[in-house]
Chain A
């Protein structure tokens, strides 16, 4: 890919982004004027205690929500001006999601789960099968494609979720505590997978986590506190494996 071009300009820019829920006295200020720039190819860990605004930030980054004030610019597009359907199309074509609770479709095979985003992209069946199987193989689940989530372990389910997120080759992968429900061994495997996709497929990753161990895999850590970014430092080197 022409990652050199992307490297020259930011992928994501937050300009004084605020988010307020409710009105008047009951108003909750989830974000209070956040400025943030993310370059293509970055692996950013988003940290902070609950209620600090990191989930709200991720929702806005994922185009699931819009800022109350300020601008969110994604590849030069002002997301705040987009309609609900336009944002859905943005998610469809540029974003991949890994949810905290896996959020796979029940009683649906691993392959069908992975194929789901491709269906909405209108990818033909043959190609869908091929790419779905390739994505499952990439997360080390070759041969498990016909199993349903109920028949898979937690680590395997999360890998299916990752395969679903990367099958569309998104520009940005948004992961909400991808290792939240896993033991340390599985967590390590998942983080290695994400690191691989970040390095080799040049997918920009934004990951919410509570654990410093997991954040250590990233290239940069952002810490939220009371709706603001508390600390904005680049971690120079990744943890050696």
Chain B
């Protein structure tokens, strides 16, 4: 009986192809809009996560001041770290892969006639490890070069391109303020971060060289810590906090004058924002699904009036109320779920094109597709019920007389 009803419904729908297509248009657009919005949203979220993973998702940053939360003045007033702090973290806390103390400053880098304002970063080889940088050409600093503070540098891809063009920079000297230093290596490009900044725009010096020749003191403005695989960053973070409180002699009850940030936290904040936006857009799109449902109800009501005689015949030869009800409900259901399928295909197509245009990965969720399909069916049943009940309750005598 169900199969019969289904066959009947699809025949009835095909009989009036133009009208059926117009009827489902609302559902198609609604579902397509929801699918596109959510899929693109997910793609954007994935993009942000991937970008942050490039920075190293097991990365912790220890900075003086109170970071995001505190009043702005605290950071500058807070004491800087020293290289000894970094060494203490590496020595006293378990589950740490590498620690890189770093300081940086924006300055001019000059080679020949070319010059560029860039970030000069003083750190160690471990900086490259914790931030997932790889060498493109040349070599790293040696232990003794770092200890003695030799004037050597490694160039980020942007600086290399701007200053040297196609030329090989290795062995050439770049001037940074009053310091002339020799290029010993270049880095692979990472491209733009999801914050829109050029990650390749920096020059790396040994920390000692930077402190003595550019900064003029022994301050370390940030300590990068990468947790070892399998160790909880939360635990490492707590341990660093208590170690730093101890080293900086912060009395119990007083707030930290430094902050330890987990990249995961930042990632969650950012992906959370995209998710809220996605939900909002999807909700707006879902309204058109509702409008589509009303369209279905409208056409089903017309259809019931048009087919009054047919309904009369069916009732007269012994169709039960619920059988007529089922017939019209199934018709609405087939219409709306077909609209759902078309909408899903259209939505995924649009999202794929959109993701490609944004350069984000195309990630479609089977759960979303299933939910959309289910929901479009539910819209059909919900809005088809009233017309179907109207049909089922017709008086067969009246219905047979209907012209």
B318 touches A122 (CB 8 A): no
Most chain A Cβ neighbours within 10 Å, of B316, B323, B400 = B316
B146 adjacent to chain A (CB < 8 Å): no
- In whole Å, how far is A115's beta carbon from the nearest beta carbon of chain B? 10
- Known contacts being A105-B310, A107-B15, is A88 close to B315, with CB within 8 Å? yes
| CB-based contact A64/B320 at 8 Å | no
Select which of B1, B317, B400 is within 8 A of A92 by beta carbon: B317
User: B255 contacts which chain A residues (CB < 8 A)?
Assistant: none
* Known pairs A103-B309, A107-B15; A119 contacts B397 (CB<8 A): no
On whether the beta carbons of A89 and B318 are closer than 8 Å, the reply is yes
Given A64-B397, A88-B315, A103-B309; A119-B4 close (CB under 8 Å):
yes
Known: A103-B309, A107-B15. A91 touches B317 (CB 8 A): yes
A122 CB contact (under 8 Å) in B1, B310, B396, B400 = B1
B135 on the A face (CB < 8 A) = no
B320 to A62, Cβ gap below 8 A? Answer: no
Interface residues of B in 269-326 (CB under 8 A from A): 309-310, 312-323
Closest CB of chain B to A54's CB: distance in Å?
14
- B348 → chain A closest CB, angstroms: 36
Is A199 engaged at the interface, CB distance under 8 Å to the other chain? no
- CB <8 Å contact, B396 and A64: yes
A62: which B residues are within 8 A, CB to CB? 316
Report the interface size for chain A: residues with CB under 8 A from the other chain. Answer: 27
**Distance from A98 Cβ to chain B, minimum over Cβ atoms (Å):** 11
A116 at the interface (CB under 8 A from B): yes
Chain B proximity mask over A109-120: 1 for CB below 8 Å, otherwise 0: 000000011011
A107 cross-chain contacts in B, Cβ below 8 A:
15
Residue of B nearest to A119 (CB): B4
Q: Which residue of A lies closest to B318 (CB)?
A: A92
Chain B: minimal CB distance from A234 (Å): 29
- A116 to B317, Cβ gap below 8 A? yes
**Could you mark each residue 14-38 of chain B with 1 if its beta carbon is under 8 Å from any beta carbon of chain A, else 0?**
0100000000000000000000000
Min C-beta distance of A66 to chain B, whole Å: 11
Closest-CB distance, A83 to chain B (whole angstroms): 10
Given A105-B310, A107-B15, A85-B321 contact (CB < 8 Å): yes
**A59-B397, A99-B400, A103-B309 given; A64·B323 CB < 8 A:** no
Measured between C-beta atoms, what is the minimum distance from A203 to chain B in Å? 16
- A105/B313 contact (C-beta < 8 A), A88-B318, A89-B318 known: yes
Count the B residues whose beta carbon is within 8 Å of the partner chain — how many?
A: 20
Q: Which B residues are in CB contact (< 8 Å) with A92?
A: 317-319
Closest to A116 in B: B317
Chain B residues, Cβ within 8 Å of A16: none
Does A117 lie within 8 Å of B318, measured CB to CB?
yes
CB within 8 Å of B: which of A94-142?
Answer: 95, 97, 99, 103-107, 116-117, 119-122
Given known A103-B400, A119-B4, contact A64–B313 (CB-CB < 8 A):
no
Contacts of B318 in A (CB 8 A): 88-93, 95, 117, 120-121
Could you tell me the distance in whole angstroms from the C-beta of A72 to the nearest C-beta in chain B? 15
Which residues of B have CB within 8 Å of A120? 314, 317-320, 323
- A84: CB under 8 A from chain B? yes
* Chain A residues positioned under 8 Å from B322 (CB to CB): 85
Contacts of B309 in A (CB 8 A): 103
Contact partners of B400 in chain A: CB under 8 A: 99, 103
Q: Which among B1, B309, B317 has the highest number of chain A CB atoms within 10 Å?
A: B317
| Chain B residues in 8 Å Cβ range of A84 | 321
A103 touches B313 (CB 8 A): yes
Is residue A145 within 8 Å, beta carbon to beta carbon, of the partner chain? Answer: no
Given contacts A64-B397, A65-B397, A103-B400, contact A88 B319 (CB under 8 A): yes
List which A41-100 residues lie within 8 A (CB) of chain B. 59, 62, 64-65, 84-85, 88-93, 95, 97, 99
Given contacts A62-B316, A65-B397, A116-B317, could you give 16 more A-B pairs where the C-beta distance is less than 8 Å?
A59-B397, A84-B321, A85-B320, A88-B321, A91-B317, A91-B318, A92-B318, A93-B318, A95-B318, A97-B316, A103-B309, A103-B312, A120-B318, A120-B319, A120-B323, A121-B318
Q: Would you list 8 pairs from A and B whose C-beta atoms are within 8 A, ordered by A residue?
A: A64-B397, A88-B319, A92-B319, A103-B309, A103-B400, A119-B4, A120-B314, A120-B317
Residues of A in contact with B (beta carbons under 8 Å apart): 59, 62, 64-65, 84-85, 88-93, 95, 97, 99, 103-107, 116-117, 119-122, 164
